[in-house]
Amino acid sequence: MAGTGQGIGRRTGSGVRTLLGAALVMAGTVPLLAGWAPARAAAPVFAPAVVLSVGAVPVPPPPGGVRYTPEPSFNDTIRRGAERFSTETGVAVRTVIDDASRDAADILREQIRQGATLIVAVAGAHRHAAAVEAVAAEFPQVRFVLLDAEVRQPNVTSIVFREQQAAYLAGVVAAGLSRSGTIGFIGGMDNPVIRRFRCGYETGARSINPGISVLGSYVDVSSSGFRAPEKAARLALMQIDRGADVLFAAAGRSGIGVLDEAAERGKYSIGVDANQNGRHPGMVLTSAVKRVDIAVYRALRDGRDGTLRGGVQALGLAEDAVGIAQDENNALVVPEPVWDQVDAARTAILSGQAGGLEKCD
């Protein structure tokens, strides 16, 4: 099982552990009497809330089995960022999981009714993008942070990631280790974020082997595709039967089914979002990591300090916000020449010389 640490690039790693809570403080007023000095105004209340996407809903293991047990993924990295902020500042952060059973906009309005002054939301198949756009207009005094999508309103900070850059590096590793000349990609669903992952992966692989075959599948047409590991495992087996010997899963909790199935069949896999190398040491070649925890922590910190600004932030390799994981779990399986190719690819990306990657934006 992967721990909380995440290595991004060749020789780096970091990790945090903290607790979440919830609090709301109400300020009263003091009457002004003759001869009294005016009472100081109470400091504004900062009450943040985080609304996680459906991928955070626990996935029960199959009856009588322990396969597909959870592994840290996208929503878990969001939690880590909120936990770090809460521990360092003492400010409680309320967390809510949107299980897609209710209207997303109503979930945001409920948080505001409960006193939230800043809400971090995950696009989540773009349910929350439309919801944030609507609710932000209704409550201009409330600040919103939207992850993985763009909403252009004065009180909204949109944070998007250049996933294609991390996926490009993952593709370099996949092509470097593939012996069959066929690799696979399994996405949770067809949406802009997952398309960036797929495009970057294919482009990176073909930078090493122009003739490589890349198979592609999506778990579902809806966000349920991010929490269906058994279905993802069946897709993995289908790709393996077609010759794929390295499988990249960009599918949230569904990806665990891909990693488990690949290991059982003696094939390599690549994790996503968090460092999942430890799931099957020596069989998970690397993980395409998004440092959402850093983005969430900084957004909460800036929100508390009053320095959070609206607009769009695009974070990638240059900001150390994406990368691939290297640790003791893949040190023996990925040879040094492949890491040299990764280093060269990283340099090319940062200098704008990675051919074909521009089409993934």
Closest to 256 measured CA to CA, from 266, 269, 240, 267: 269
Element at 261 (helix H, strand E): helix 255-264
Domains of the chain (ranges, CATH numbers): 48-162+292-319 (3.40.50.2300), 164-290+322-360 (3.40.50.2300)
Per the listing, tokens 């552990």 go with 17
What is the CB neighbour count within 10 angstroms for residue 27?
9
Report the pLDDT value the prediction gives residue 64, as an integer from 0 to 100.
43
d(CA 189, CA 253): 12
Report the pLDDT value the prediction gives residue 75, as an integer from 0 to 100.
82
d(CA 142, CA 115): 10
What secondary structure does DSSP assign to 270-307, as a single string? EEEES--GGGSTTTEEEEEEE-HHHHHHHHHHHHHHT-
Structure tokens given for 13:
């790693």
| pTM for this model (two decimals) | 0.82
With contact defined as beta carbons under 8 Å apart, do 115 and 98 qualify? Answer: no
Is the model's pLDDT at 108 over the cut of 90? Answer: yes
Report the pLDDT value the prediction gives residue 127, as an integer from 0 to 100.
76
Closest to 326 measured CA to CA, from 279, 269, 288: 288
Burial of 282 per CB tally in 10 Å (0-12, 13-18, 19+): middle
With contact defined as beta carbons under 8 Å apart, do 55 and 307 qualify? Answer: no
Per the listing, tokens 């040094």 go with 336
Query: How high is the mean pLDDT of the chain?
Result: 85
The SS3 of residue 244 is coil
With contact defined as beta carbons under 8 Å apart, do 254 and 232 qualify? Answer: yes
Report the pLDDT value the prediction gives residue 58, as an integer from 0 to 100.
45
| β-strand partners of 272 | 288
Indicate the pLDDT class of residue 160, thresholds 50, 70 and 90.
very high
d(CA 170, CA 243): 19
Closest to 16 measured CA to CA, from 69, 88, 70: 88
Mean pLDDT of 21-27: 34
C-alpha 105: how far from chain center:
22
Mean pLDDT of 113-120: 97
C-alpha 328: how far from chain center:
23
Mean pLDDT of 58-84: 67
Indicate the pLDDT class of residue 213, thresholds 50, 70 and 90.
very high
Mean pLDDT of 262-285: 96
Per the listing, tokens 């696979």 go with 184
With contact defined as beta carbons under 8 Å apart, do 189 and 55 qualify? Answer: no
Lowest mean pLDDT of 96-100, 135-139, 320-324, name the range.
96-100
| β-strand partners of 249 | 186
d(CA 85, CA 305): 12
Report the pLDDT value the prediction gives residue 352, as an integer from 0 to 100.
95
